[in-house]
Amino acid sequence: MSNGEATFIKGFNDTQFGNLLALLSNVSGTFQLGGMFLSLFLTSDTDKILDAIKQLQQDLERDFKELGDLIRQQIHLVIDTVNRDAMALALSRSDIAAARIQDFLARNDIAALETAKTESIGGLRFFTELGLTAPDLPFFMPGLIKAGTIRIFVIASQPIDLREPRPVIVDDVTAITSSFAAMIDAIKRNVDAAHLVNRLSHNVLCPPIQELVSGPPKKKTFVIDAFAHEETFTDDAGNEQNMRLAFFDVLNGNNPCEPQSSGDIKAAQGAAIQARSQGVTDELAFMGIPVCEQILGSWRGLLAA
């Protein structure tokens, strides 16, 4: 694992990860609200539209304020000044799009709609043009969530007679889903690679016959002490370290010169493998990846539609 990837995985504290998880749940709900917006707009029910706009504005202000905190932290983690500045500019364009689409929905301001289209596209382009194999791709996931959410909402809010050409919409949603999927996959690969099962062993000199105090030369015997579930991480000095998360004893206090039970070895190894699998699952859940995958599924559903 590279230093940058490890920094991303370890860069948030517990509270921030919890905020991200809650935030992603809220953003997922915002997509549903976006669908309701489109339905209400087509029925021209002004009061319901205005109520929904007000609710959306409150949701976006709350959710994107929390997301903005994570984005600001990510910007500090991105050393590349060009990418950092470009990301800030892209997000500012998405903010303009969010404000203008609300103006359009509230007052049927066509100029505001055109600005929302242009700025939502511009805000998204930075994230979708990063390159799907960029090693620092996970750094930009909070920003993509915001830019993608706004772009999709702008698309959903357009009346049929003013809607962008279908190929443009399909290309944008495809780019969003491809970039988001690549970010999720990169994080999953990093977490999976960081969790290890290590065998702990040593060699011991054992007499051929235990009862003999003296006699033939002692024989070197290989002994399996335990299996451990460990996770690699990079410390502040840039050195890769292993943190032991679980330990499964094989010896259990037995004489190391006695023949080891294959059953004990298999049981300890199996328990360590199971602990590693659960550790990967728990860390991904802690990072909100299952919720990200739900959002990705909803975005992909737009392509099917």
pTM: 0.68
Q: Are 220 and 247 in contact (CB under 8 A)?
A: no
Per the listing, tokens 């109520």 go with: 51
Query: What confidence score (pLDDT) does residue 109 get?
Result: 92
> Residue 156 has what pLDDT?
82
Low-confidence ranges of the chain (pLDDT < 70): 1-84, 134-135, 208-218, 305
Give the pLDDT confidence score for residue 250 in this predicted structure: 93
Predicted local confidence at residue 209, as pLDDT: 58
From 130, 192, 141, select the one nearest 23 (Cα to Cα): 141
**30 CB-near residues (< 8 Å, 6+ apart):** 56, 59, 60, 63, 149, 153
Tokens standing for residue 113: 């709609």
Residues in the chain: 305
Residues with Cβ < 8 Å from 121, sequence gap 6 or more? Answer: 151, 172
DSSP 159: -
- CB proximity list for 97: less than 8 A, separation 6 or greater: 115, 116, 117, 118, 119, 120, 123, 150, 151, 154
Q: Which residues contact 147 (CB under 8 A, 6 or more apart)?
A: 90, 91, 94, 120, 123, 124, 126, 127
